[in-house]
């Protein structure tokens, strides 16, 4: 399939695609559309941003018969809204009713949309089951079942929900699955619910070589926020996505950057749906050039032009690292990925190295910032600020207060200490900051030169 005009798709769909500015089909579209048009099941290995919504959406809209319906299952609310919006644009010259079903929004409004009749439902598994249990939706007329970002749905614990949904769909159907990776759960879907599906596309690793990856090792956890501010000022990114490990860490980083007058917005599952949608609109429009997000909330975000991805907290799994940095370097563009590390993150680095990624750790000799009256829950513990930034005096089994330069920390370590920090294949380089403190000896003594306040 060289172009959409000769794809075999209905003229109304081709016209809509042209209106949207698409000229040539992407690789996943070229490989998927002809196979689906022939009525075959299919597995597509593709990440967000490769055009996979059109890869399954266009042939589904072309083949959908009168009185039959399509179901697209997605992991998050953001992706449900995004996919539904794309399908509506594709079907602008067709009489198709697309509904989005996701948690965190009014059930009554979604029930009203279902009562009006629907052709394609884009749904998160949990909310779909809610509607099924209450009798507001039936799957007996499904012609298509699509699993989009299947690996992430399983990562988020939707295995049982998906199995329950498949138990209610017709035997005669066309099943499509798109996933960046192929873990065992995805293989079981192919084995149990699909009919000899061919596999097309490529895994998510193909874009990594276009991303400049940097690993910055800071003296202690509290110095990460100083390092982040320095990197943002030095790099001055056009559009940056910052990943945090928890909601609390997300809020802390967002408030700190907001205090320093950065154009920042925060996204996590604790926000109300209308707030989340407003945040995404600000990020897409460039009104908030910095988006601080958790992994779950950021799933499905496909915003062109992201120049930098920053891992403020390292992810739990190495595949999540690939998912994160894949948000930049889209459509053939280059991008940068910057990861902050402490001496507790060595195991993560070894896992990343196991993926074939070259690790070159640079030391960022920078001091923690002075105290600010705000909570720092970025390590996941319930802490209260006392006297100094992040200094918890309540005792207990938590780590002791860190002090001194890197390599001289008094923190209690649970495993053997690796002198000198992480040692990559090549010698670590030193990346010094003019705002750092080279003469600190720990405790409360020594000078702490804070980064300058960011002002307009």
Give the Cα separation of 349 and 334 in Å (integer): 23
CA dihedral 331, 86, 237, 336 (to 10 degrees): -40
Segment (H or E) for 53:
helix 52-63
Contact (Cβ atoms closer than 8 angstroms) between residue 87 and residue 17: no
pLDDT of res. 125: 96
pLDDT of res. 80: 94
Q: Helix, strand, or coil here: 283? A: helix
- Cβ-proximal residues to 339 (8 Å cutoff; 6+ apart), any chain: 213, 214, 215, 216, 310, 311, 314, 321
| Across 161-175, 237-251, 371-385, least confident range | 371-385
Backbone angles phi, psi at 385, to 5 degrees: -65, 135
Backbone angles phi, psi at 17, to 5 degrees: -65, -40
- In this structure, the number of other CB atoms found within 10 A of the CB of residue 75 comes to 23
With pLDDT > 90 as the criterion, what percentage of the chain qualifies? 54
Q: Helix, strand, or coil here: 385? A: coil
- Cβ-proximal residues to 454 (8 Å cutoff; 6+ apart), any chain: 229, 233, 260, 261, 262
Domains identified in the chain and CATH numbers: 11-202 (3.40.50.300), 205-432 (3.40.50.300)
> Has residue 123 got a pLDDT over 70?
yes
Instruction: Calculate mean pLDDT across residues 300-328.
Output: 85
Starting at the edge strand found earlier in the chain, the sheet holding 240-244 runs 264-267, 290-294, 240-244, 308-311, 335-341, 211-217, 361-365, 429-432
Confidence of residue 365 (pLDDT cuts 50, 70, 90): very high
> Has residue 331 got a pLDDT over 70?
no
Confidence of residue 444 (pLDDT cuts 50, 70, 90): very low
Q: Helix, strand, or coil here: 97? A: coil
Cα–Cα nearest to 124, from 144, 148, 101, 104: 101
Instruction: Calculate mean pLDDT across residues 40-47.
Output: 90
Burial group, residue 418, by CB count within 10 angstroms (0-12, 13-18, 19+): exposed
DSSP state of 222: G
Confidence of residue 23 (pLDDT cuts 50, 70, 90): confident
pLDDT of res. 155: 75
Confidence of residue 237 (pLDDT cuts 50, 70, 90): very high
Instruction: Calculate mean pLDDT across residues 234-259.
Output: 94
Residue with the two structure tokens 């009798």? 135
Contact (Cβ atoms closer than 8 angstroms) between residue 34 and residue 1: yes
Instruction: Calculate mean pLDDT across residues 280-288.
Output: 90
Contact (Cβ atoms closer than 8 angstroms) between residue 370 and residue 190: no
Cα–Cα nearest to 253, from 307, 292, 296, 290: 292
Q: Where are the alpha helices (DSSP H) in 117-223?
A: 125-133, 150-155, 159-166, 184-193
pLDDT of res. 390: 35
> Has residue 261 got a pLDDT over 90?
yes
Give the Cα separation of 215 and 237 in Å (integer): 17
Is the backbone of residue 395 left (phi > 0), alpha (psi -120 to 50) or beta?
Answer: left
Task: Give the angle subtended at the CA of 195 by the CAs of 13 and 52, to the nearest 5°.
Answer: 35
pLDDT of res. 349: 86
Give the Cα separation of 84 and 81 in Å (integer): 5
Give the Cα separation of 369 and 322 in Å (integer): 30
Contact (Cβ atoms closer than 8 angstroms) between residue 442 and residue 404: yes
Cα–Cα nearest to 241, from 168, 153, 327: 327
Contact (Cβ atoms closer than 8 angstroms) between residue 44 and residue 175: no
Confidence of residue 299 (pLDDT cuts 50, 70, 90): low
The pTM (predicted TM-score) of the whole model is 0.56
pLDDT tens track for 178-212: 998 888 889 999 999 999 999 998 654 445 778 89
pLDDT of res. 18: 92
Q: Helix, strand, or coil here: 306? A: coil
pLDDT of res. 300: 59
pLDDT tens track for 130-175: 999 999 999 999 999 999 999 888 877 899 999 999 999 999 999 9
Residue with the two structure tokens 């495993």? 415
- Cβ-proximal residues to 358 (8 Å cutoff; 6+ apart), any chain: 213, 424, 425
- In this structure, the number of other CB atoms found within 10 A of the CB of residue 122 comes to 29
Helix/strand/coil (H/E/C) assignment for every residue in 37-48: HCCCCEEEECCC
pLDDT of res. 1: 65
Q: Helix, strand, or coil here: 144? A: strand
pLDDT tens track for 418-427: 445 555 544 3
């Amino acid at each position: 399939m060289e172009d959409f005009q000769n794809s075999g798709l209905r003229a109304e769909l081709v016209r809509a695609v042209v209106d949207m500015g698409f000229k040539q089909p992407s690789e996943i579209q070229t490989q998927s559309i002809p196979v689906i048009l022939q009525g075959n099941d299919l597995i597509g290995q593709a990440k967000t941003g490769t055009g996979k919504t059109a890869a399954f959406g266009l042939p589904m809209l072309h083949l959908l018969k009168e009185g039959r319906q399509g179901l697209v299952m997605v992991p998050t609310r953001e992706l449900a809204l995004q996919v539904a919006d794309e399908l509506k644009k594709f079907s602008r010259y067709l009489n198709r009713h697309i509904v989005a079903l996701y948690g965190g929004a009014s059930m009554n409004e979604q029930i009203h949309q279902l009562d009006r009749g629907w052709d394609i439902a884009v749904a998160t598994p949990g909310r779909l089951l809610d509607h099924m249990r209450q009798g507001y939706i039936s799957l007996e007329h499904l012609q298509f079942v699509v699993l989009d970002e299947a690996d992430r749905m399983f990562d988020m614990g939707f295995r049982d929900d998906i199995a329950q949904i498949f138990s209610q769909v017709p035997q005669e159907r066309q099943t499509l699955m798109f996933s960046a990776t192929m873990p065992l759960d995805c293989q079981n879907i192919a084995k149990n619910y699909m009919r000899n599906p061919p596999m097309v596309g490529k895994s998510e690793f193909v874009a990594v070589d276009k991303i400049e990856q940097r690993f910055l090792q800071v003296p202690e956890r509290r110095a990460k926020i100083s390092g982040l501010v320095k990197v943002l000022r030095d790099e001055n990114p056009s559009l940056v996505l910052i990943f945090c490990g928890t909601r609390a860490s997300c809020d802390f980083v967002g408030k700190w950057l907001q205090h320093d007058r950065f154009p920042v917005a925060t996204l996590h599952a604790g926000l109300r749906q209308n707030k989340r949608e407003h945040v995404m609109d600000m990020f897409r429009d460039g009104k908030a050039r910095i988006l601080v997000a958790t992994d779950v909330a950021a799933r499905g975000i496909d915003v062109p032009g992201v120049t930098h991805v920053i891992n403020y907290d390292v992810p739990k799994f190495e595949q999540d690292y690939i998912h994160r940095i894949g948000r930049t370097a889209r459509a053939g563009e280059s991008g940068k990925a910057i990861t902050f590390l402490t001496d507790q993150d060595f195991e993560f680095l070894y896992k990343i190295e196991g993926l074939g990624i070259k690790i070159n750790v640079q030391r960022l000799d920078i001091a923690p910032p002075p105290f600010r009256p705000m909570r720092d829950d970025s390590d996941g513990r319930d802490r209260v600020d006392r006297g100094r930034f992040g200094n918890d005096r309540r005792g207990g089994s938590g780590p002791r207060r860190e002090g001194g330069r890197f390599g001289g920390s008094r923190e209690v370590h649970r495993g053997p200490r690796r002198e000198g920090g992480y040692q990559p294949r090549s010698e670590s380089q030193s990346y010094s900051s003019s705002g750092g403190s080279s003469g600190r000896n720990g405790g409360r003594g020594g000078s702490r030169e804070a980064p300058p306040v960011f002002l307009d």
